[in-house]
Amino acid sequence: MSIFSDIEPFMLRAFAVAVVMGPLCALLGVFVTARRMAFFSDTIAHGALAGIGLGFLLGFEDPTWPMVLFSLLVAAAILWLKEHTDLLTDTIMALLLSGSVAFGIIVLSMLKNKRGELHRYLFGDILSVGPDDVWLAVVLCAAIGAWLFAKLSPLALLTASEDLAHVCGVRTRWLNYAFVLVLTVVISLSIRLLGIILVTSLVVIPPAAARNLARNLRQQLILSLIIGLFGGAVGTVASYHWDIPCGPAIVMACIAVFIGSLLASKLWLNRPVKAKAV
Amino acid sequence: MSVTHTTCSHSAADIAVSVRDLRVTLGGQAILRGVNMHLHRGQLVALIGPNGSGKTTLLRAMVGLQKPDSGEVRLFGESNLKKALPRVGYVPQRLALDRSFILSVREFLALRLRETQHWFWHRHRDTDDRLHAAMAELGAESLLDRPIAALSGGQLQRVLIVFALLKQPDLLLLDEPTAGVDSPGEQDFYETIAEVHRKHKLTVVLVSHDLSMVYRHASWVYALNGVVCCEGSPEHVMNADSLKEAYGLNVTPYHHHNHSHGPGGGHAQ
């Protein structure tokens, strides 16, 4: 009690969200990076800006739900356009990303009392994590974490080959949709902490650092989870102590681990970071 | 286009795969235009035909990966393919694996066994023994701890065959299994498939461009070009007239009985 009594409640809330969302993003990130979906994550994160603008416009004090819903809408739009047009996936995502950002900024600039919110959502704000956010993060993370653990094998098979997964009895279409849904919810809920611009880094950097050290997927999943936890915890503590923005602090903590893992793989493990075909 | 075939008397229970008037259109182009075939149990069936003749599409339709416009596929008499899939092993042409995906061969194979609820934390000794034995059968046990994305074409094909065989299927479907395998490796590979066919008493369906290998190992051959142009024993199908009908050009198969590749002919790409 004495340890926590000196710490501001907002700091504890931010810490709680960071140590829950960090590992979850990192775990999802192993599949996101292997399935080349990093830009997809970035697009749905930017889609949240339009949701935030729309939420404020509709009179929401807390735009969390409009933000999650708009990100889901952007994710659905990507999937629909991919299936029903001949446009390249990158083109579709660039279109939706810039469209969402433009819409969000226009709406926020129209709402004169909400202009300050733009900076807060773009770069994340430790002060904006309320008690409700902590509960939402903990409950959702428990549910999504349980789902993810139950679906690790089908997800690994789906990532290796959709065709093989189908022949092995995996309902590939549903699993793909469920993965996108889960990723979208986790990304949009992490925005409070990391901000729209940096949120993808929590999905990309821990798996990349883990990849440098791991010999198989099991090791990469475990290491990625630990690095996500470490980044979230160290980043929020550093943010509090040195009065620096929370999102960048978490990202820099993860980057430090990445550099360490790269050096370790080159110098001590004597292992090529790039796998070579024999 | 006339269909020539030699007859083969079997009862309905002997049919492993039955395809009836299968039609598939892809990108506005009719790829399969009414394919009919009955593959009998225990046969090593080869599907041959030029590029774009619908061999891969047909194989994908057999496992439900390609939805037909019309027609029907039955596996072991079952029209609901999902129900029949546990009896099927499938080897795709290639895996588009990202190099950053560090799934090891051991982990990949364990995914097939579905004894993988615990693989995130533990390795099971029984599973390990089973995987080791399965890999040893194809002479690939040394690959178990390698990342699957770092394997060569030939090594990956062996791993994919082990994956397909792990659940002791009754039907093994191979889509151009030697794509990306060098020439000596290719010959070895067909020997392995023939050995697997003999040992496991499976029905094998093989898409191939290598006519000399088909001639040597297949028990039944379908020449495909949107429809079945010709079916029968290799000796019957692989005469110049039948191949001309399937490939639309003069292909002279090189029927050799030794272990070397014939010059020129014998390959139709």
pLDDT digits (tens, 9 = 90+) for B166-189: 988 999 999 987 776 777 777 777
User: Does the beta carbon of A34 lie under 8 angstroms from any beta carbon of chain B?
Assistant: yes
DSSP 8-state class, residue B144:
T
Residue located via tokens 């490796």: B185
Q: How far apart are the first and last CA of chain B?
A: 21
- The predicted structure's pLDDT at residue B251: 55
Cβ atoms of B242 and B236 closer than 8 Å? yes
B113-148 residue pLDDT tens: 865 555 555 667 778 888 888 888 888 888 998 999
Quick one: DSSP state of residue A141? H
| Rounded Cα gap, residues A42 and A38, in angstroms | 6
> Domain spans of chain A?
2-195
**Rounded Cα distance, B123 and B120, in Å:** 8
Contact yes or no for A278 and B152 at CB 8 A: yes
Q: Where are the alpha helices (DSSP H) in B101-239?
A: 105-113, 125-137, 153-165, 183-200, 211-217, 234-237
Domain boundary assignment for chain B: 42-60+87-247
What one-letter code names the amino acid at A261?
S
Nearest in space to B48 (alpha carbons), one of B185, B241, B215, B162: B215
* pLDDT score of B2 more than 60: no
Per-residue tens of pLDDT for chain A, all 278 residues: 455 566 788 888 889 989 999 999 999 999 999 998 999 999 999 999 999 999 988 888 888 889 999 999 999 999 999 888 989 989 999 999 999 999 988 988 888 777 777 788 888 777 777 788 788 888 988 999 999 988 888 999 999 999 999 999 999 999 999 999 999 999 988 888 888 989 999 999 999 999 999 999 999 999 999 999 999 999 999 988 898 888 899 999 999 999 999 999 988 776 655 554 44
Task: Dump pLDDT digits (tens) for B92-121.
Answer: 887 777 777 899 999 999 888 865 555 555
Residues contacting residue B71 through CB under 8 Å, at least 6 positions apart: B19, B20, B21, B22, B23, B32, B34, B35
Amino acid B122: pLDDT = 61
The topology under which CATH files domain B42-60+87-247 is: Rossmann fold (3.40.50)
What pLDDT score was predicted for residue B250?
57
pLDDT of residue B180: 67
Is the pLDDT score of B192 beyond 70? yes
Q: Is the pLDDT of residue B261 over 60?
A: no
> A160 vs B103: CB contact, 8 Å cut-off?
yes
Topology, domain A2-195: ABC transporter involved in vitamin B12 uptake, BtuC (1.10.3470)
Pairing of strands B203-207, B44-48: parallel
How remote is the C-alpha of B133 from its chain's centroid?
22
Report the pLDDT value the prediction gives residue B169, as an integer from 0 to 100: 92
Calpha distance B99→A130 (Å, rounded): 41
Closest CA to B247 of B218, B213, B209, B214: B209
Residues 6+ apart with CB under 8 A from B109: B131, B134, B135, B144, B159, B162, B163, B166
Spatial distance between the Cα atoms of A74 and A51, rounded to a whole number of angstroms: 10
**Contact residues on chain B for A166, CB-CB shorter than 8 A:** 63-65
Q: How far is CA A152 from CA A30, A146, A178, B24, B119, in A?
A: 11, 10, 13, 34, 9
Rounded mean pLDDT, B67-90: 92
A156, A214, A215 ranked by CB distance to B111: nearest: A156
B117 has a chain A CB within 8 A of its CB: yes
Task: Evaluate whether B181 touches B28 at the Cβ level (below 8 Å).
Answer: no
**ipTM for the whole predicted complex goes beyond 0.95:** no
Residue B263 has pLDDT above 70, yes or no: no
Interface-testing mutation among B57, B63, B103, with chain A (most A C-beta atoms within 10 A):
B103
With CA atoms as reference, report the closest residue to B130 among B120, B141, B139: B141
CB contact under 8 A, B119 and A214: no
The total of other beta-carbon atoms located within 10 Å of residue B158's CB is 25
| Better-scored residue on pLDDT, A269 or B204 | B204
**SS3 sequence, A76-103?**
HHHHHHHHHCCCCHHHHHHHHHHHHHHH
Contact B96 A161 (CB under 8 A): yes
Nearest residue of B to residue A29, measured between CA atoms: B101
What the block records as the tokens of B212 is 């000399």
Per the listing, tokens 């429809």 go with B227
